[in-house]
Structures are given as structure tokens and as C-alpha cells.
Amino acid sequence: MKSLARLLISHVFISIFVTFFLLSGHIEHPFLIIFLLFLPVLNKGQRFQKIQSKKIRLLNASLCFILVSFPQLLTNPMDWRYLVFLIICIIFSLVYFYTLYQLFKEVNQKSLI
């Protein structure tokens, strides 16, 4: 359970860091592409935790896609891309929370055994 809490804390810190730079205006499109390339490094870093689940990769990927589509939602809402990124953000948010729920269930089942 400690590893799961550490995973959530790392996701919160990454989200706060990226959101802070998005709102301050210091992030440009090349940074977002580099952020997506950072995903395999994030997955390797999670390997050192005690959770041995393939769901962590999906969790990290959905978090990255949420954070990449988020700055596009700060633009003009009348543009057609706004709806596309809103749908992407909603879908990956649902995927993130459902995968997190499954991961909680998996960790609880392993701790009961």
C-alpha cells in the first residue's frame, strides 16, 4: 500500500509541476512532445516500487495524455480542436480513474493473501 501511495504522490507532483508551468505560460508545444517522450522513463522509475503490475504503464500513459491535452483546453472554446481535446481529456480521465480503481483492488487482494 505504501508503493501505491508513493505512485499517487508522484503523479500529483508531476501534475502540479506541469500545470504550474502551463498556467504561467512557460510551456510550449515542443516541451509537450518531450514530455510524452519522458513516458518510458516514468515507467522505468515505477519499476523500483513494490507494485508489479502492467496497469501502471496504462496509468502513466493516461496521465501524460491528460496533461498534454490540458493546455489545448485553455484556448478558444469555439475552435473545433477544443472539442477534440476535451473528448480526449475526458476519455483518458475515465481510463485513469478506472485503472487506478483496478490497481487498488489488485493491491488489496495481494495484501489479503
- Domain residue ranges in the chain: 2-112
pTM as predicted: 0.74
Q: Which burial class, exposed, middle or buried, applies to 30 when counting CB atoms under 10 A from its CB (0-12, 13-18, 19+)?
A: exposed
pLDDT range class, residue 91, cuts 50, 70, 90:
very high
**For 103, phi and psi rounded to 5 degrees?**
-65, -40
Q: Tell me the pLDDT tens digit for each residue of 28-85.
A: 667 767 776 776 766 666 666 666 777 877 888 888 888 777 777 777 778 777 888 8
Identify the pLDDT of residue 88: 86
Residue 103 has pLDDT above 80, yes or no: yes
The band of 95, judged by pLDDT with boundaries at 50, 70 and 90, is very high
At 47 the pLDDT is 60
